[in-house]
Amino acid sequence: AFNADVVPQAPEDALFGLMAAYRRDTDPKKVDLGIGAYRDNNAKPWVLPVVKKADELLRKDPDLNHEYLPIAGLAAFTSASQKLILGDESPAILEKRATSVQTISGTGALHLGALFLSKFYHTKEPRTVYFSDPTWPNHFQVFSNVHLPYKTYPYFKKETKALDFDGMISTLEGAEPGSIIVLHACAHNPTGVDPTQDQWKKIADVIREKKHFPFFDTAYQGFASGDLAKDGWAIRYFVEQGFELCIAQSYAKNFGLYGERAGCFHFVTASAADAESTVQRVASQLAILQRSEISNPPAYGARIAATVLNDKELFADWEADLKTMSGRIIDMRKALRSKLEELGTPGTWNHITDQIGMFSYTGLSEKQVLKLREDSHVYMTKNGRISMAGLNTNNVEYFAKAVDKAVR
Ligand code: PLP
């Protein structure tokens, strides 16, 4: 018989534990820099105005019902998602070399891709997955849950608080040929450090030479720079270069649809005479996996996103909302850096504005992070990562002073 006594206690999820500690803190000055969700200048969750509009439109539709979606999800959503990430005129779309499945947000897309690769991308041994060091911690769990072994490639250089490009390249060069390389498409979490376009080209060269398989994780398109094409550049470049690859796409951050779990998994095959039939076979297997895991995906978030993505005017509204979010974050980067420099806080702070997206890797040590929590009620992860979205014009000076105190 099953003996539940053998089940060991698992550690609490670090981030969700941090959120709980923040909620328990009764100090009115407390600052939450842990959570990876956008906040407005009043530290409140923000429903994008375009999402409100789409929601109103949907609610007016007398034919709207709660039937199941197809196994692969809402077609209007998956086809618009392909165009969004690959570009309207992508050869992969025109040549029918891409197949897409609606998933439980980005995490579900990563899982479906990992599961698919664990079943079908084999030699004698399962392929090794390479993650950046550091990476979004859930990557480790998602891929090891489907029994793929993993390693890491260097990514962040402590001394410069920038990309460890040489370390990354030499590890990819030394990796077993055919390894799966997980790449953050933009706004790398947790560091906020992205390769330049020239660096991406070199990364692509090594991946091609070593016959590795690229797996892109895109959770911040449009949210990073405010420009959808710019944030999608790396993926589009790899597709242009003829790679076969996977993409896990999330609409949590760029639509503010966190809890609605809207996302998409894409498989793009290389240009070949039988590409269309390859994609059809892949799609048929993805459908089986999806059916056994979630049967079919949740409808609401996908309907909202599809309404916006397929309407010119709403799309333009969305782009403006993306500019609002990314613009406020960029402003907070500037404000934080200049306040720290004004205070003469020991260290260099240019990395705050060099980094991009939701997060900044401050370079603060674990000891300093804990001191910030104890002395100043500032909550951030132990690795020194802050969510820029938690800063606003009311608390950025307070935070800069708290950092100054913790560093001295
Ligand atoms: N990948 C990265 C790098 C992320 O930062 C996140 C969210 O924080 C995700 C994927 C997936 O998030 P979700 O499942 O909410 O779409």
Q: Which residue, among 105, 132, 295, has the nearest Cα to 215 in the 3D structure?
A: 132
Per-residue confidence (pLDDT) for residue 291, from 0 to 100: 98
Per-residue confidence (pLDDT) for residue 12, from 0 to 100: 84
Q: Which residue, among 178, 181, 183, has the nearest Cα to 125 in the 3D structure?
A: 178
Q: Which helix (H) or strand (E) holds 379?
A: strand 378-379
For ligand 1, atom 12: residue with the closest CA: 106
Using alpha carbons, list the distances in angstroms from residue 111 to 108, 280, 317. 5, 20, 31
CB count, 10 Å around CB of 113? 29
What does pTM read for this prediction? Answer: 0.96
Note if the bond before 190 is cis, omega within 30 degrees: yes
Per-residue confidence (pLDDT) for residue 246, from 0 to 100: 98
Segment 139-152, tens digit of pLDDT:
999 999 999 999 99
Q: Which residue, among 90, 169, 92, 172, has the nearest Cα to 129 in the 3D structure?
A: 172
Cα 281 to Cα 49: distance, rounded to the nearest angstrom: 40
Per-residue confidence (pLDDT) for residue 14, from 0 to 100: 81
Half-sphere exposure of residue 193, counting CA atoms within 13 Å on the CB side? 23
For ligand 1, atom 5: residue with the closest CA: 189
For ligand 1, atom 6: residue with the closest CA: 219
- Residue 184 Cβ inside 6 Å of ligand 1? The answer reads yes
Segments of the chain scoring below 50 in pLDDT: none
Q: Which helix (H) or strand (E) holds 163?
A: strand 162-163
Using alpha carbons, list the distances in angstroms from residue 335 to 285, 322, 326, 350. 50, 20, 14, 12
Q: Which residue, among 336, 355, 327, 326, has the nearest Cα to 220 in the 3D structure?
A: 326
Catalytic residue among 217, 231, 317, 321: 217
- Residue 286 Cβ inside 6 Å of ligand 1? The answer reads no
- Residue 217 Cβ inside 6 Å of ligand 1? The answer reads yes
For ligand 1, atom 4: residue with the closest CA: 219
Per-residue confidence (pLDDT) for residue 304, from 0 to 100: 98
Can 164 be counted among the known catalytic residues?
no
What ligand 1 atom has the least distance to the C-alpha of 252? 16
SS3 state of residue 102? strand
ipTM: 0.99
- Residue 130 Cβ inside 6 Å of ligand 1? The answer reads no
Can 29 be counted among the known catalytic residues?
no
Per-residue confidence (pLDDT) for residue 314, from 0 to 100: 98
Q: Which residue, among 323, 285, 260, has the nearest Cα to 112 in the 3D structure?
A: 285
Q: Is 55:83 a contact under the CB 8 Å cutoff?
A: no
Can 217 be counted among the known catalytic residues?
yes
Per-residue confidence (pLDDT) for residue 272, from 0 to 100: 86
